[in-house]
């Protein structure tokens, strides 16, 4: 498997590592395999932990949305009408009220928020759900990256007293997503999408992107400030302290299985997956090296290690009939962070050999130091994966002053450029460079000149070829 042919590598690894099965007979719809689903479980465990501890409560709203509710918010419909699946029949009957499969859940949730929210005492309201959503995507579909059934859609929905309170929530959400991607060792950029690329119905959108090995960026999360746009449509009001009825201001933010696509793609190598220890279904594999003699003793000791380390880690003792070399190969493919080898010679020295998936070095460790050493190596591995990935992204960010330079760097990474902020210049810059504007780099202002109109500006933007 050669990662330099990234498209092929990606399809292949999903298959051979047992992440998803793409043979389901509906385009853009995939099956999670047991191993892939375990990665999903640990990954979403982190997301749940972060949302729970920042005051969000988990809910679950229905999959089916009545046409009338779905059609209420003009911009929202305009943005999604090409992408929705309709349910129009029940058995042999035409449904009186056609239903849409949620492409996202604003129009399922907000009619109920209207009932739940009465007074300022009900605010802020912070909820999230993890569910499947359906989008009839027309761009080419790709497992975990552009699915028609998004199986792992985490969407948070919040309501607040004022625009400013919602703005604060946007900042908190960005911090939550930053922590999440840090735990997955995924480097990100954060930018404010241009108006023509914001979420349908939003006041503005902050996006989280990462750079994939083929030089294109993938949007792996978005945080939307909805202002009172949906509140006015769905009449979500609260009574303030003086007894006046006011519209709430809302936010919503989402992440999908793209986070797993990014994690696999960014860390993996020619040998297979490399998983951050926190989300690896198997964190530690023990391989007994059985020679002609001393097999009993080796197995006994391996079982002991399995039992002891099994209290703290997800451990696999590989007792299959394969030769050690074949076992190494298999567990490397599966991305197991740490391997322990133990043979008769190691027993004599009261040692074991350990090696980390991200570095091919073998290290001999005294038995009594094993527990501490494993903990240390797991920590180091997480840090190393993040540092390596960050460096990989940093060296593929190119500052460009002219359109020609920009087009030369498309598909090589992320372009950083000045932009006056006018839509017409932005669109022309996209067209002539062949890259899309990801958005305004928040908190970064620098004197520069718009490459289209020549006006002076402080706005810096990222551009890239996107997925």
Instruction: Return d(Cα 68, Cα 71) in angstroms, integer.
Output: 5
**Tokens describing residue 433:** 């460079």
Give, in order, the Cα–Cα distances in Å from 241 to each of 120, 163, 249, 282, 327.
7, 17, 16, 53, 67
How many CB atoms neighbour CB 34 within 10 A?
A: 8
The listed partner (Zn ion, Mg ion, ligand A5A, none) that binds 467, CB under 5 to 8 Å by sort, is none
Give, in order, the Cα–Cα distances in Å from 88 to each of 69, 72, 98, 101, 337.
15, 19, 5, 11, 49
Footprint (CB under 5 A) of Mg ion, residues 422-451: 436
Of 56 and 224, which CB lies nearer to ligand A5A in the complex structure? 224
Output the smallest distance, CB 319 to ligand A5A, in A: 39
Of the residues 46, 47, 185, 220, which one makes contact with ligand A5A according to CB under 6 A: 220
Q: Is 100 in the site for ligand A5A (CB under 6 A)?
A: no
**Tokens describing residue 172:** 């908190």
Q: Is 450 in the site for Zn ion (CB under 5 A)?
A: yes
Q: Is 453 in the site for Zn ion (CB under 5 A)?
A: yes
Q: Is 406 in the site for Zn ion (CB under 5 A)?
A: no
Terminal C-alpha separation, the chain = 22
Residue 397 burial (10 A CB sphere; 0-12, 13-18, 19+): middle
Output the smallest distance, CB 149 to ligand A5A, in A: 9
Footprint (CB under 6 A) of ligand A5A, residues 228-267: 252-254, 256-258
Of 135 and 183, which CB lies nearer to ligand A5A in the complex structure? 135
Output the smallest distance, CB 427 to Mg ion, in A: 8
Instruction: Return d(Cα 93, Cα 458) in angstroms, integer.
Output: 60
The listed partner (Zn ion, ligand A5A, Mg ion, none) that binds 436, CB under 5 to 8 Å by sort, is Mg ion
**Where does this chain touch Zn ion (CB under 5 A) — which range of 50-58, 248-256, 432-440, 442-450?**
442-450
Instruction: Return d(Cα 19, Cα 39) in angstroms, integer.
Output: 8
What is the dihedral sign for C-alpha 146, 149, 153, 156?
A: positive
**Where does this chain touch Zn ion (CB under 5 A) — which range of 15-23, 247-255, 381-389, 425-433?**
425-433
Of the residues 40, 146, 225, 327, which one makes contact with ligand A5A according to CB under 6 A: 146
Instruction: Return d(Cα 318, Cα 335) in angstroms, integer.
Output: 15
Q: Is 315 in the site for Zn ion (CB under 5 A)?
A: no
Of 350 and 445, which CB lies nearer to Zn ion in the complex structure? 445
Instruction: Return d(Cα 9, Cα 92) in angstroms, integer.
Output: 46
Give, in order, the Cα–Cα distances in Å from 56 to each of 52, 53, 159, 217.
5, 7, 11, 29
Output the smallest distance, CB 258 to ligand A5A, in A: 5
Q: Is 209 in the site for Mg ion (CB under 5 A)?
A: no
Q: Is 201 in the site for ligand A5A (CB under 6 A)?
A: no
Of the residues 128, 199, 234, 328, which one makes contact with ligand A5A according to CB under 6 A: 199
Q: Is 150 in the site for ligand A5A (CB under 6 A)?
A: yes
Q: Is 155 in the site for ligand A5A (CB under 6 A)?
A: yes
Size of the site for ligand A5A (CB under 6 A): 19
Instruction: Return d(Cα 390, Cα 425) in angstroms, integer.
Output: 31
Lateral strand order in the sheet of 64-66: 64-66, 93-101, 86-90
Footprint (CB under 6 A) of ligand A5A, residues 124-143: 135, 137
Q: What is the DSSP letter of 45?
A: H
Site residues for Mg ion per CB under 5 A: 436
Site residues for ligand A5A per CB under 6 A: 104, 135, 137, 146-147, 150, 155, 199, 219-222, 224, 252-254, 256-258
């Amino acid at each position: 498997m050669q990662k330099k042919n990234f498209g092929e590598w990606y399809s292949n690894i999903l298959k051979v590592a047992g992440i998803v099965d793409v043979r389901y007979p509906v385009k853009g719809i995939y099956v999670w395999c047991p191993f892939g689903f375990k990665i999903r479980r640990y990954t979403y465990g982190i997301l749940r932990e972060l949302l729970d501890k920042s005051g969000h409560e988990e809910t679950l709203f229905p999959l089916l949305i009545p046409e009338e509710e779905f059609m209420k918010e003009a911009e929202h419909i305009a943005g999604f009408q090409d992408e929705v699946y309709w349910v129009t029949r029940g058995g042999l009957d035409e449904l009186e009220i056609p239903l849409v499969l949620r492409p996202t859940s604003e129009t399922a949730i907000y009619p109920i928020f209207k009932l739940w929210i009465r007074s300022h005492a009900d605010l802020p309201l912070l909820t999230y759900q993890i569910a499947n959503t359906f989008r009839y995507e027309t761009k080419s579909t790709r497992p975990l990256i552009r699915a028609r059934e998004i199986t792992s859609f985490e969407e948070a929905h919040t309501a607040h007293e004022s625009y400013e309170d919602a703005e604060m929530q946007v900042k908190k959400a960005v911090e939550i997503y930053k922590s999440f991607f840090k735990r997955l060792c995924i480097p990100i950029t954060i930018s404010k999408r241009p108006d023509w690329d914001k979420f349908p119905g939003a006041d503005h959108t902050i996006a989280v992107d990462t750079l994939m090995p083929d030089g294109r960026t993938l949007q792996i999360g978005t945080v939307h400030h909805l202002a009172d746009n949906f509140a006015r449509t769905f009449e979500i009001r609260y009574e303030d302290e003086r007894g006046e009825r006011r519209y709430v201001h809302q936010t919503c933010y989402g992440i999908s299985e793209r986070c797993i696509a990014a994690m696999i793609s960014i860390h993996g190598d020619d040998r297979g997956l490399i998983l951050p220890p926190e989300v690896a279904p198997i964190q530690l594999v023990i391989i007994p090296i059985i020679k002609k003699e001393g097999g009993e003793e080796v197995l006994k000791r391996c079982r002991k290690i399995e039992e002891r380390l099994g209290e703290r880690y997800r451990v696999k003792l590989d007792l299959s009939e394969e030769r050690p070399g074949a076992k190494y190969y298999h567990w490397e493919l599966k991305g197991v962070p740490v391997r322990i080898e133990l043979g008769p010679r190691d027993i004599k020295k009261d040692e074991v050999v350990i090696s980390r998936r991200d570095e091919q070095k073998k290290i001999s460790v005294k038995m009594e130091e094993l527990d501490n050493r494993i903990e240390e190596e797991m920590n180091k591995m997480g840090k190393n994966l993040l540092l390596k990935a960050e460096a990989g992204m940093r060296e593929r960010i190119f500052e460009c002053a002219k359109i020609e330079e920009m087009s030369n760097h498309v598909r090589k990474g992320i372009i950083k450029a000045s932009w006056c902020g006018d839509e017409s210049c932005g669109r022309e810059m996209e067209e002539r460079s062949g890259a899309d504007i990801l958005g305004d780099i928040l908190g970064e202002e620098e004197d520069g000149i718009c490459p289209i109109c020549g006006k002076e500006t402080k706005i810096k933007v990222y551009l890239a070829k996107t997925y």
